[in-house]
Amino acid sequence: MKYSKLLSLYCCLFFSTALLAEDSISEWYWGGFITQGLASSDHNNFAGKSSEGISADLREVAFYATWRAADLVHFSGQLMSRKFGEVDDGNLQFDYLLVDFGLSPSVSSEYGIRIGRVKLPYGFYNETRDVSFTRPSIALPQSIYFNTTRELQLSSDGAIVYGHLPLGDMRLDIDFLVGAPRESVNNEYGYFRANYSGRFEDDLGIMSRVSLSDGADIWKIGLTLGQFDLTYIPGPLGELGLKEGGLNLEVAIFGGQYNTEKWSFTSEYMYIQVDRTDLGGVFEFNGKSTSESYYLQTEYRFAKDWDLLLRYDVFYLNKKDRNGSITEQRSGRPAFSQWSKDVTLGAGWQATPNISFRAEWHHVQGTAWLAVQDNLDAGSLKKDWNLYLLQAAYRF
């Protein structure tokens, strides 16, 4: 009797401690960041009126939450406010908001679909281009990660099918997206260099990316292929004699990266063919052009928590007129508005796991990737200019 009482007490104790010990894992994950930058330039504006002193119009604030609703399903969303000169006004927007259904047939493979507002699989940096601690520099290579037509690159409302799978000792990552890119007047600036009374609508984009890497991500190569069809509806002013029609974009990016403990070498090449002939007007006979972009980048982690960056970034708006002389003859716009060459030197310091600082100097020739929105007076643009950037970031 005595023993059975003791036994039941033991059982009771054991059971309750066992219950207490079983961890209840929260299926909610959340976090965010605040990034503030300062920009100054001797000529030409970048992220606000940088040529008139110091611009602080360079800010990114975001909060994300992810909820594992079931073993195979999660929901995730990120609210973001981005202020970037006249390009981004800082209004709160959903950067992404999606539901993900996935399956993991083996420990080293996973497949699934994400539906909703999803990030575009585009080059090496696009998905988290506005998240400072995932970029190697304050300003990503502007020849590929544009600020003018960034809404097209940011996220799409649609669906993305993905897969991570082993291929011998290597790994293959595949993404395929179909969706409607986010609309913005910035697209008009990008393709017409002005904000007209018309608008783009019924856009559709297809984007696929395949990357192959060794298992440890020492090297990786990636190929992105995409196509966007935008419909332009002319406004009451009928600028440039444009009629309703399609604007078609074809994109290809090829990139490679090599990583060691102290060094990372990255390069990407991009080709975009823009076809505006369907819009008629000024584009009827001259509506097709192909831009070309590439960069070579070295990161050097020379001490614990410190890094240096050196990059050479080149952009040709029209590969048939690389030096811009044809454009200058035909339209009177300066030849240097058709290309950009940017030599960037940067340094970064991870002060704590949550706080980081960066500084960089861009020595730029040409103005091809400058945002028209921040440089409305095209006549004041200079061919040779320098841009200085500082950035502080806090994550939580």
Partner 1 sequence: MLFIVALRGTVVTRNLLKSLIVILFLLSPIAEAEIVIAHPDVPISSLSQQDLRSIFTMRTSRWPNQKPVYVFVLADKEPLHRSFVKSKLGMFPYQLRMIWDRSVFSGAGFPPILVPSTQAMLLRVQNTKGAVGYMDDSGYPILTGVKIIEIQ
Shortest Cβ 96–partner 1 spacing (Å): 5
Q: Quick one: CA torsion of 235, 238, 243, 245, rounded to 10 degrees?
A: -40
| Sign of the torsion angle spanned by Cα atoms 152, 250, 368, 221 | positive
Of 215 and 238, the one with the shorter C-beta distance to partner 1 is 215
Tokens encoding 233: 């509806």
Structural element, H or E, at residue 289:
strand 288-303
User: What count of residues does the chain have?
Assistant: 396
Shorter beta-carbon distance to partner 1: residue 11 or 170: 170
Neighbour tally for 180: CB within 10 Å: 16
126 vs 373, which CB is nearer to partner 1? 126
CA atoms within 13 A on the CB side of 21: 6
Nearer to partner 1, 46 or 122 (CB): 122
Give dist(CA 233, CA 244) in Å, integer: 5
Shorter beta-carbon distance to partner 1: residue 49 or 114: 114
Smallest distance, partner 1 to C-beta of residue 249, A: 22
By C-beta, is 163 or 281 nearer to partner 1? 163
Closest distance of CB 218 from partner 1, Å:
8
Sequence-distant (≥ 6) Cβ neighbours of residue 72 within 8 angstroms: 101, 102, 103
Q: How far apart are CA 301 and CA 345, in angstroms?
A: 14
Min dist. Cβ of residue 113 to partner 1 (A):
12
For partner 1, give the closer residue by CB, 48 or 348.
348
Interface residues toward partner 1, by CB under 8 A: 21-23, 25, 29, 31, 62, 64, 66, 68, 71-72, 74, 76-78, 96-98, 100, 102-110, 114, 118-119, 127-128, 131, 133-134, 162, 164, 166, 169, 171, 215-217, 259, 261, 301, 353
**DSSP code of residue 23:** -
Q: What angle do CA 147, 148, 149 make, to 5 degrees?
A: 100
Distance in Å, CB of 98 to partner 1, minimum: 5
**Least distance in angstroms from the C-beta of 97 to partner 1:** 8
What does DSSP assign to residue 55? B
Smallest distance from partner 1 to CB 109, Å: 7
